[in-house]
Amino acid sequence: MVLDLVKKKWRKVIRTTPEREIEVQDAFESILVGSGIVYEREKVSIPYATKVYRPDFTIASLNFAIEIKLATDERHEKEFIAQVNDDIRAYKTQYANVLFAIYDVGIIRDIDRFVQDFASTSGVRVCVVKH
């Protein structure tokens, strides 16, 4: 359900090329509001090892954590891989389902290759939406 919203609606609600991550987070929140999904934004803290993680959105009824990213720089592709791997460990301690939604303004060349290794982790989805 949430993944379908990301794939079908997220690009439609972003009218100009985003420059800051908060712009794509706000657009995603608009989709959740419009869909009537009950969620929390940056309210849940997940302690893991010596760090505290905070998903951008959580949907308690679906046991779901959502992390939103904006790819605007070629360096982001490798950084996102490391961040996603790091976040998976922490988020999976409290949530059965985790979605990493990346809004890409033309940085990630091969989406299939980028997401393929994450697909093998149960309950984890990575979705890249192109501007």
CATH of the domain at 60: 3.40.960
Q: Please give the angle made by the CA atoms of 53, 26 and 1, to the nearest 5 degrees.
A: 80
pTM listed for this prediction: 0.93
Residues of the chain with pLDDT under 70: none
Residue 76: Cβ within 10 Å count: 18
> What is the number of structural domains in the chain?
1
Residue that is written with structure tokens 């990213």 in the block? 69
Separation CA 55–CA 121 (nearest Å): 18
Domain extent, residue 64, equals 2-111+119-130
Hey, what amino acid is at 123?
A: G
Separation CA 53–CA 58 (nearest Å): 12
